[in-house]
Amino acid sequence: EQVYANSLHPETYITSAISPDDGAITTLYCATSPEIEEKNYRGRYFDPYGIEGEKSSHAKDDDLAKRLWEFTENLINEKLSQK
């Protein structure tokens, strides 16, 4: 099995005028649509209703991504060593 990691717009039915069913569309699309695997969607950003959107400048910053990855690894290692 392969992992397909994508980002979703944080649209929720609680904070907007859309229904709970519509609020779930993007999450359901990314989790269940065969298109994700067929089109090899990885590292993509999806707006509401499963429409592919434009990533922010932060999301395109390779140096920032590396620093975040290293920070996360260090934090996890720190927490695991406390047990």
Residue 36 lies in domain: 1-52
Within this chain, do residues 48 and 14 fall inside the same structural domain, yes or no? yes
Determine the Cα–Cα distance for residues 34 and 39; give it in Å rounded to an integer. Answer: 9
Full-model pTM: 0.71
Within this chain, do residues 65 and 38 fall inside the same structural domain, yes or no? no
Own/partner long-range contacts of 16-20 (Cβ < 8 Å, ≥24 apart): 18/48
Check residue 73 and give its pLDDT.
Answer: 98
Residues forming beta bridges with residue 52, ordered by sequence position: 46
Span 7-30, pLDDT tens digits:
998 765 566 678 888 888 999 999
Within this chain, do residues 26 and 62 fall inside the same structural domain, yes or no? no
Q: Residues in the chain with pLDDT < 50?
A: none
Both tokens of residue 57?
A: 């400048």
Within this chain, do residues 5 and 37 fall inside the same structural domain, yes or no? yes
